[in-house]
Structure 1
């Protein structure tokens, strides 16, 4: 902790904190007038940023999504449309575009921790390898909770796997990874209608 205090003081023209190590009994630290002035300035700046952020969010810009980093290939932002609670888990349906909804199954504790309620914003994170593709445009009888309909936008083949980019409604896209053999068996090419099958437990939800 004292190293951090020293590093902080080194960044400014005057000391922000005076400190004296105290060994096992602990030390004493005091904020200097320069430090108090900086804290006050920071809190005022923090309030102004919060006010500006709230104003931007009210306009629907949702800039916070730009800073999110995740290893999941797919991140789709939407609005919670419904929540169905079970004894342990909850089924959360997210509307990501007109005609496109994604259902996730998460624990009830997660719903509470994330503050999920109907009308709240959330992001569905889906790994590309969790997506199973089927050719066609008609609903299938399957245990997968999510069936997202779209068309192949592009296909990139590697030595073993292929990545398929799918155009969904509302300008949304989805990336799926499958073996190259599977892509060739399905004869996937741009413009082909496909169905992305995703199990609800494979969808991770995130919030700001």
Structure 2
């Protein structure tokens, strides 16, 4: 069985301020029997080292394992395979030797052959996909599952350090922005620097809807830091509450406008006269925003 994945071609993280390492398609390969995994590249490397050295001690050293870990791996492989792959000859002043059975030798060759074909597949798949890194990042975002109704993607436009927390602004497609407050540790662990891609999660129940009857078009004087202007696109009433969706004002006229959804009472919908096509403002606190990134 094999697994393909996205990996960086650089072994270490890029230095601050430097360009990120290019992304490429990578993969891993392992052998299974029924529902159990016999081993992957590491265990096959151990078998190969045993073949070359004739010694558990030498093989363990060659693959960077402890002697105990090597024997544990051998026992596991023998048990899962249902037959011996490795046998240890007793006795002698040197303590005997360790050899592979014909089945163990064949397993190495089988793995190497499949590994070569898997590598060719990865190379062909990588060459066939244009803008692979961009597409893969998008696949990761759209496949994300979360209880937060609002999932907004953007780019970090500013990071302001405070005494305890940081204030991070995320520029959304279309020109508006979301501000989040989070700890220094979270900012650093997520790699939130200017220009980095991130997504914001906001529960629908945390969003307040406001109608600016004065038509000022500016920032309203309320404690909620985030005030996103848009147009109501849908109102779905329930027994007590209603779900109201708002397409945010967008620089291109709204064709690709992000949508924010709020859950408010039916009484609020009536009082604010919220209906499809009516302008409104989605407001929520910076502390209500959860930021995340795709690794």
TM-score by length of 1: 0.79
Higher-Rg member (1/2) = 2
1:90 is displaced (CA, Å) by 0.9
Equivalent of 1:132, from 208, 218, 225?
A: 208
| Runs (5+) with no aligned partner, structure 1 | 1-6
CA RMSD, Structure 1 to Structure 2 (Å) = 3.4
Q: Distance in 2 between matches of 1:8 and 1:60?
A: 28
2:145 & 2:118 partners in 1: Cα distance?
A: 26
| SS of alignment partner, residue 97 of structure 1 | coil
* Corresponding residue for residue 80 of structure 1: 156
Within a 5 Å distance, the mapping from 1:34-73 to structure 2 comes to 34-39=110-115, 41-42=117-118, 55-57=131-133, 62-73=138-149
Q: Who is 1:3 aligned against? A: none
- In structure 2, stretches of 5+ residues that fail to align are 1-30, 48-67, 78-84, 86-103, 251-256
How far 1:106 sits from its partner (Å)? 1.1
Greater displacement, 85-94 / 51-60: 51-60
Equivalenced residue count is: 197
Matched, 1:143 2:208: no
Greater relative contact order (Cα 8 A, min sep 6): structure 1 or 2? 1
Distance 1:124 1:182, change over 3 A: same
Cα distance in 1 for residues equivalent to 2:228 and 2:119: 46
For the 8 Å contact 1:9–1:15, the answer to whether it is kept is no
Alpha-carbon distance change, 15 to 185 in structure 1, aligned in 2, over 3 angstroms: closer
Q: Which residue of 2 aligns with 1:9?
A: 33
- In the TM superposition, residue 55 of structure 1 has moved relative to its aligned partner by 3.0
- In the superposition, relative to structure 1, how do residues 116 and 61 fare at CA in structure 2: closer, same or farther (>3 Å)? closer
Query: How far apart, CA to CA, are the structure 2 residues paired with 1:54 and 1:207?
Result: 23
3-state DSSP of counterpart to 1:190: coil
